[in-house]
């Protein structure tokens, strides 16, 4: 069974041929972890790219996420079947709840039982959550059982390190997957990250990815630029010192980028 690779490629906001090209470029470079979601409206394009690549399905780690309008018992499993049809595969490696149901419009017990059912039926190999707070993680783990939640996918970058959520998840044996790792490009303009990058003949993005790995946080940056994808893939050349890590840790200022009106009460 494939374990989720440290670095994946995200597909948020990628549509049509742009999504196909980005995923194909990533797979050609060597990425084997692809992240999509029902709400991205590009599962079909991701599936097309995987088919076109000719790679064995078993060599890939594929994630999708169930959108809020499909959390009810009547829609959940049918929506997963629809996702699999679009992705042209019999299963995903990881199925996530994209957002907790706003104001518990659907009870957590209901949609997490559906999530567990998807795993039991072989529609996914692993299950997890996204954008869950500490109290929601605690409740979810009580519902699903100790070793069921593979990861909590959350916004995390040098300027918003989400430390309490990370700490709680790790204490409970739950992984962390960071989305928006480059803070929509802000890391490229940061003086501290540029200074560190200069010492390693690297990019600020590579520095951030190296920092993520040291902290045992998986991540899924996206790019439509093949050179940037290649550069991200080569982040392993950066070996950060303890001083470097401390400098990056000090960049945390709680700057949250993703905060829709249906978001939970953040920690």
pLDDT band at 103, cuts 50/70/90?
confident
Asked if residue 44 is part of any domain, the answer here is yes
Q: How many domains does the chain have?
A: 1
| Residue 111 a catalytic site member | no
Q: 240, 214 in Cβ contact below 8 A?
A: yes
Asked if residue 159 is part of any domain, the answer here is yes
Asked if residue 118 is part of any domain, the answer here is yes
In the chain, which ranges are continuous DSSP H helix? 16-29, 43-53, 73-87, 108-120, 134-144, 163-171, 191-199, 204-214, 226-233, 242-249
pLDDT band at 2, cuts 50/70/90?
very low
Is pLDDT above 70 for 259? yes
| Tens digits of residue pLDDT in 167-184 | 999 999 999 999 999 999
| Tens digits of residue pLDDT in 196-219 | 999 999 999 999 999 999 999 999
Residues placed in the known binding site for substrate = 98
Asked if residue 203 is part of any domain, the answer here is no
The mean pLDDT of the chain is 97
Asked if residue 245 is part of any domain, the answer here is no
State which residues form the domain around 126: 9-182
DSSP 14-54: --HHHHHHHHHHHHHHT--EEE--GGGT-HHHHHHHHHHHT
Asked if residue 60 is part of any domain, the answer here is yes
Asked if residue 112 is part of any domain, the answer here is yes
- Exactly one of 40, 111, 179, 235 is catalytic; name it: 40
Q: What is the CATH number of the domain that holds 23?
A: 3.20.20.100
Asked if residue 149 is part of any domain, the answer here is yes
Average pLDDT over residues 76-95: 98
């Amino acid at each position: 069974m494939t374990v989720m690779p440290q670095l994946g490629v995200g597909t948020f906001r990628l549509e049509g041929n742009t999504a196909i090209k980005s995923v194909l470029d990533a797979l050609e470079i060597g990425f084997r972890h692809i992240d999509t979601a029902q709400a991205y409206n590009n599962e079909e394009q991701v599936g097309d790219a995987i088919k076109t690549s000719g790679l064995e399905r078993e060599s890939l780690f594929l994630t999708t996420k169930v959108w809020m309008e499909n959390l009810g018992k009547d829609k959940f499993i049918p929506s997963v079947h629809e996702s699999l049809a679009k992705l042209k595969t019999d299963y995903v490696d990881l199925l996530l709840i994209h957002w907790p149901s706003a104001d518990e419009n659907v009870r957590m017990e209901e949609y997490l039982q559906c999530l567990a059912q998807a795993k039991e039926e072989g529609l996914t190999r692993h299950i997890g959550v996204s954008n869950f707070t500490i109290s929601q993680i605690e409740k979810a783990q009580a519902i699903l059982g100790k070793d069921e939640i593979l990861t909590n996918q959350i916004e995390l970058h040098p300027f918003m390190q989400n430390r309490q959520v990370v700490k709680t998840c790790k204490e409970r044996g739950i992984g962390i997957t960071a989305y928006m790792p480059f803070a929509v490009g802000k890391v490229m303009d940061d003086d501290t990250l540029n200074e560190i990058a200069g010492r390693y003949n690297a990019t600020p993005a590579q520095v951030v990815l190296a920092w993520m790995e040291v902290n045992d946080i998986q991540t899924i940056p996206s790019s439509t630029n093949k050179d940037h994808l290649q550069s991200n893939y080569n982040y392993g050349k950066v070996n950060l010192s303890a001083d470097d890590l401390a400098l990056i840790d000090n960049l945390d200022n709680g700057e949250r980028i993703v905060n829709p009106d249906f978001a939970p009460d953040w920690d």
